[in-house]
Amino acid sequence: MPCFKKIDSEHLFLIVHKLKKTCERCNALRRQTNSYGSNYLEKFRKHAEQIRRTTGKKEIAKVSSTQGQEQIKTLIEEIVMTGETRQQRYMAIADALWSRKGNAIVIRQPNGEFVTFLEAGKGAALAWRD
């Protein structure tokens, strides 16, 4: 039979308050608008095969097409909205936003601008520790 420690109302209030603040911060990180910067097409071309492989979406159109670009943006937004998001250093970005779903990791600036796409367990993605 589990043993529970009695918590007085003051401590319970503090615990609930801290949990609410943590949830608010996590939700704020997810809600930030995604933007892609002026060199997004170059980044999409560089990571297209990696995105296909890690998301299992083999049917992405050519990156040079508007359809392909929109498909990649949709996949990135899905990872950000439904994956786990953390804030930690990525290279020179001290408080980068890392969003992970499966083996796909999206790195964004604190303002939500897309930086790069990583595959979990490889290279710089090793900084994601479970």
In this structure, is residue 83 part of a structural domain? yes
- Ranges of the chain whose pLDDT falls below 70: 1-5, 11-14, 16-33
In this structure, is residue 3 part of a structural domain? no
In this structure, is residue 4 part of a structural domain? no
- DSSP code per residue over 18-41: HHHHHHHHHHHHHHSPPB--TTHH
In this structure, is residue 1 part of a structural domain? no
Predicted confidence at residue 37, as pLDDT, reads 85
Range of the structural domain that residue 90 is part of: 9-127
Backbone angles phi, psi at 118, to 5 degrees: -125, 155
Predicted confidence at residue 42, as pLDDT, reads 93
| CATH value at residue 95 | 3.10.450
In this structure, is residue 2 part of a structural domain? no
In the DSSP assignment, the letter for residue 122 is S
Residues 6+ apart with CB under 8 A from 101: 78, 79, 82, 83, 84
In this structure, is residue 37 part of a structural domain? yes
Q: Using an 8 Å Cβ cutoff, are 112 and 34 in contact? A: yes
d(CA 78, CA 99) in angstroms, rounded, equals 10
What six digits make up the tokens of 9? 């109302």
Q: How many structural domains compose the chain?
A: 1
Q: What is the pLDDT of residues 108-124, one digit of tens each?
A: 998 889 999 999 988 88
Predicted confidence at residue 124, as pLDDT, reads 84
Question: H or E element: which one contains 87?
Answer: strand 84-90
In this structure, is residue 36 part of a structural domain? yes
Is pTM beyond 0.85? Reply is no
